[in-house]
Structure 1
Amino acid sequence: MPVRLPRRPDRDAVLIAAAGLLGGLALWFLGLHNNPPLAALPGRLSLVALVVMCGAELLRRSAPLTALAVGTVTLALDICTGSLVATIAMYTDVVYAAVLYGRPSVAWRIPRVAEVLTVLGTLLAVALIRKPEALLLGFGFGVLIVAPAWTGAGIRRHRDDARAARLEAERTALLAELDRREAVGAERARMARELHDMVAGHLSAIAIHSTAALSIGEPKASEEALTVIRENSVQGLAEMRRLIGLLRQAGGAEEPAATPRLDGVDALLAHARKAVRDDRFRFALDDARGPGPLPAPIELAAYRIVQESLTNAVKHAAPGPVTVRLAREGGGQLVVEVSSAHGDGPVPRAPGSGAGLVGMGERVALLDGEFEAGPAAGPDGKEWRVRAVLPVPEEGAL
């Protein structure tokens, strides 16, 4: 396994080590030692301790725990050979750096270990010296290791709290941005559904009748087709203006626009009947909702489903019956079902993109309902059936 070498010392470590080395050399040449050497050890060994402590200082950021271990042994040598203030000062910085930059599992234990060592050192000094000065030695020991350890612990705690607060702020900002994007996406989808449902029927009728006007050579038929085109153009323009007014509406300063309701399904059938202008089509309504009113969101969704289904029938259905059924089933659910003859026609009477089915499915999903659309077997043969089941809240089923 390759050995990972410490990274290059940073600028602060180099400056502290250089200042400590110069200060320690000055003190040594001036003979300013803290105590005489113990056990007749040569005083020049204090210079060795000074140099080694400077090396430990260079590791304060890249390998703080290694620096602490080396510094502790070096401090013992320094005390035995005539202590220098510069060496002691650098050791306090090594203790501080070990708590601030060391691994969390070890760094948080250093202040506790320093407290225990201070108490043991004080008791040992009192036992050996048996003078009041022994308490001063214990106090100095505490200043040497306990104070820098707890200083590093406090700064590290504040730094970790600041990092956690910054991460929480970034997370909050990210969630806010995601919420904003989701809200914008939902609003765009709602606008797309409303625009498609309100205008697609009129444009489909315009496309069908403009094709008829261009292909039929009879002046009367062309005039009727152009009349239908004009009516649908005017109605489509009115719907567009209403939608634009809704988008420009500022809060509750204006009266809300009227929401389409199922009482207007007869008008939708009349519009579809006029748009297709084929006697083989038979439009019928089977309304079994009952007298109870429905919540506005349910009525709007059901109305738009019927509107889009009739638009699709005008564009794609084969000649035959087109039936709209509205009913209340078990649990008060509203069932909307639109069926039309399904044939293998060569070309649709007007182009389609499939967005209508997607919009109907989205409307039903927003109300936690069920939606299905596709070919089915009917009493008159094969038919295309759109069926939506919309749950009605209890407070809406009055």
Structure 2
Amino acid sequence: MTRTDRQRWLLPSHLAGPGGPGAARPRRTVRDWVVDTTVFLLAAFFGLLAADTSARYNGDLVNVLDQIGGALACCALWLRRRWPTGLAAVLAVAGALVPAAAGAMLAALFSVAVRRPFRDIAWILALALAGAVATVFVRPDPETGAALGIVLGVSLTLMVTAWGMLVRARRQLVEALRERADRAEAEAELRAAQAQRLAREAIAREMHDVLAHRLTLLSVHAGALEFRPDAPPEQIARAAGVIRDSAHDALQDLREIIGVLRAPGEDGGGDRPQPTLATLGALVDESREAGTEVVLDTTVDDPGSVPAATGRTVYRIAQEGLTNARKHAPGAPVTVVLRGRPGEGLTVEVRNPAPDGPVPHVPGSGQGLIGLSERAALAGGRLDHGPAPGGGFALVAWLPWPS
């Protein structure tokens, strides 16, 4: 059931269409025909009972007029979806004069109570109550008496109105619960989409941090082979070995990330351990083997005491700094400084001077530094980068180290 269809439970037919007031009245559904026919038959049944009772103490002409008035009132119920308020008001007056129209009046009152709030139907209810009292005196029934007739008429009118208001309240509650469920489902889908987006961003940052270092080695050494085809065989063999090892390690890292994607519920997601501060020395050695002069200055005597998440962030920062230095300042020495103690935090610096010769063009987007800034912020720290005062480039980060 669409939202427009659900609104037809609470609004009259001429207001329930997609266009609102003034729009074309929607056609009756099968359910509408069943309900309208049932209401018509019930109103006709009660009208016949009232006409039969009235025939006992009224003349033939009055009985004929009662039957005609009751039939017209019952037929008018087919208009209750288009003019519920006006029809209920007219039948409230007619019910006071024609007992056979009482059933149609109650049906119209019930319909308007279902479709309108109480403040809009209070005057119709008052008119119906006045008609229920007036009919006792206009068309008295000798068998019931005035007091009993007033009690029966007022009670029946109030009961039908309360029933209609109860149906309206229940439909509003169902509609509110349905809208709340739809909204909750939409919010859940939005949260799932946001979680997927964040996961993709995290995976993209991780792939950049892991693979950029390896691929930079490939690019630098492949470029050296391209521009130095006459290099000694030892240098060519060494560069080829670095290219082979870097390609192998890049494939291993890529398999690890793909393993995380295939089994997101597992910690680690791969066979290879995650880097920590204890593996920073291996990273420096790898860069030295690739031909970069790297100086590691650290005061952290026990890398294993550093939290794993903090150590991994320091490793990624140093890895990105070494990668950028190899890209944009080939041949320049790089200094990695690590300072800190529990309770004071951990500071890592990666500095390199400006290169002496021309810098080969190596493509880069700067996404690595952006990812590192986000990674440091998530860890509760900060990261600064930019040209150093004496020339070159500096990458400085501070991370919390709980005591």
What interval of TM-score do these two structures reach, taking the shorter chain for normalisation? 0.7 to 0.9
**Alignment map for 1:379-394 (pairs within 5 Å):** 381-392=390-401
1:257 & 1:227 partners in 2: Cα distance?
22
Q: Is the 8 A contact 2:92 2:105 kept in 1?
A: yes
* 1:194 matched residue in structure 2: 206
Cα displacement string for residues 125-178 of structure 1 (whole angstroms, at most 9, x for unaligned residues): 8xx999973443134314531222122122222212211221121122112212
Q: Go from structure 1 to structure 2 and tell me whether the alpha carbon gap of 1:270 and 1:256 turns closer, same or farther (over 3 Å shift).
A: closer
Amino acid at match of 2:82: S
Q: Is the 8 A contact 1:262 1:299 kept in 2?
A: yes
For the 8 Å contact 1:370–1:389, the answer to whether it is kept is yes
Q: Which of these residues, 274, 278, 283, is aligned with residue 259 of structure 1?
A: 274
How far apart, in 2, do the equivalents of 1:308 and 1:154 lie?
68
Structure 1 contact 334–390 (Cα < 8 Å) conserved: yes
* Count of aligned residue pairs for this structure pair: 368
2:242: which partner in 1? Answer: 228
Unaligned runs of 5+ in 1: none
Alignment check: 8 A CA contact 2:44 2:103 kept: no
8 Å Cα contact 1:37-1:43 kept in structure 2: no
Residue of structure 2 aligned with 1:74, choices 80, 83, 94:
94
Tell whether the 8 Å contact from 1:64 to 1:102 is kept in structure 2 after alignment.
Answer: no
Question: In structure 1, what is the Cα distance between the partners aligned to 2:388 and 2:114?
Answer: 73
Deviation, 1:391, is: 2.9
- Where do residues 1-398 of structure 1 align in structure 2 (5 Å cutoff)? 8=25, 11=28, 12=32, 15-16=36-37, 19=40, 23=44, 32=52, 34=54, 46=66, 49-50=69-70, 53=73, 57-78=77-98, 83-84=99-100, 87-103=101-117, 105-106=119-120, 117=129, 121=133, 133-142=145-154, 144-216=156-228, 217-220=230-233, 221-249=235-263, 251=265, 257-275=272-290, 277=291, 282-289=293-300, 291=302, 293-317=305-329, 319-328=331-340, 332-342=344-354, 347-348=359-360, 350-377=362-389, 381-392=390-401, 397-398=402-403
Instruction: Sort the Cα spacing of 1:5 and 1:59 in 2 relative to 1 into closer, same or farther, 3 A.
Output: farther
> Could you say what secondary structure the match of 1:382 adopts?
coil
User: Residues 197 and 18 (structure 1 numbering): CA distance in 2 closer, same or farther, change over 3 Å?
Assistant: closer
The answer (yes or no) to whether the contact 2:114–2:164 under 8 Å persists in 1 is yes
State percent identity of aligned pairs: 31
Determine helix, strand or coil for the equivalent of 1:385.
strand
- Contact 2:259–2:270 (Cα < 8 Å) also in 1: no
Does structure 1 retain, via aligned residues, the 8 Å contact 2:335–2:351? yes
In structure 2, C-alpha distance between the alignment counterparts of 1:248 and 1:300, rounded to whole Å: 22
The answer to whether the Cα contact below 8 Å between 1:376 and 1:383 also exists between their aligned partners in 2 is: yes
- Name the SS for the 2:364 alignment partner: coil
> Could you say if the C-alpha distance between residues 371 and 255 of structure 1 is closer, same or farther in structure 2, counting changes exceeding 3 Å?
closer
Letter in 2 for 1:258: P
What whole-Å deviation, never above 9, does each CA across 1:5-61 have from its counterpart, x for those lacking one? 69648644895599579959x969x974637999xx977765785477457634433
Contact (CA 8 Å) 2:211, 2:254: kept in 1 or not? yes
Taking the aligned partners of 1:251 and 1:175, their CA distance within structure 2 comes to 23
In structure 2, the gaps of 5 or more residues are: 1-20
Question: Structure 2: which amino acid aligns with 1:268?
Answer: L
The structural deviation recorded for 1:342 is 4.2
| Structure 2 SS opposite 1:285 | strand
Cα pair 1:364 1:370 within 8 Å, conserved = yes
Q: Which amino acid in structure 2 is aligned with residue 218 of structure 1?
A: A
The structure-2 alpha-carbon separation of the partners of 1:317 and 1:110, relative to structure 1 and needing over 3 Å to count, comes to: farther
Q: Find the aligned partners of 2:322 and 2:126 in 1 and give their Cα distance.
A: 84
1:106-140, Cα deviation, whole Å (9 max, x unpaired):
35x689x679949x959x98xx9999734431343
In structure 2, what residue type is equivalent to 1:88?
A
The one-letter amino acid of 1:263's match is: A
Superposition RMSD in Å: 4.3
For residues 18 and 331 of structure 1, the distance between their equivalents in structure 2, rounded to whole angstroms, comes to 80
SS of aligned partner of 1:286: strand
Shift of 1:255: 8.8
Mark the CA change 1:17 to 1:201 in structure 2 (over 3 Å): closer, same or farther: closer
Output the CA distance in 2 between the equivalents of 1:48 and 1:31. 10
TM-score, normalised to structure 1's length? 0.75
